[in-house]
Amino acid sequence: MIADIWQWTPLMFLILPGGSDRRPRKISSAPRPAAGRFLVQRFVTIMLPRIKIVIVIALAIRVVEIFKISIRSS
């Protein structure tokens, strides 16, 4: 189990930032007010919907690998 986490975590960390590159540059370079609640609100309303498909693909890859491991170990 631990080895599986060590094996697949780097791939997930490569997939997810790659998906966040889909955001328009206008949103990234827009002037921002002070940190705090605005950052969370910006992530939930702007970033999360744009990377939702990437998150689903990453989770699908993990689910397939988990099933492969569970079948192999039984």
Closest CA to 49 of 14, 28, 26, 19: 19
Q: Look up residue 67 and give its DSSP letter.
A: H
Instruction: Return d(Cα 19, Cα 31) in angstroms, integer.
Output: 23
**pLDDT, position 25:** 62
Tens-digit pLDDT profile for residues 7-66: 778 888 888 877 776 666 666 565 566 566 777 787 788 788 888 888 899 889 888 888
**pLDDT, position 60:** 92
Residue 63: Cβ within 10 Å count: 10
| Total number of domains constituting the chain | 1
Q: Which domain holds residue 54?
A: 2-73
Contact criterion met (CB below 8 Å) for 20 and 50 = yes
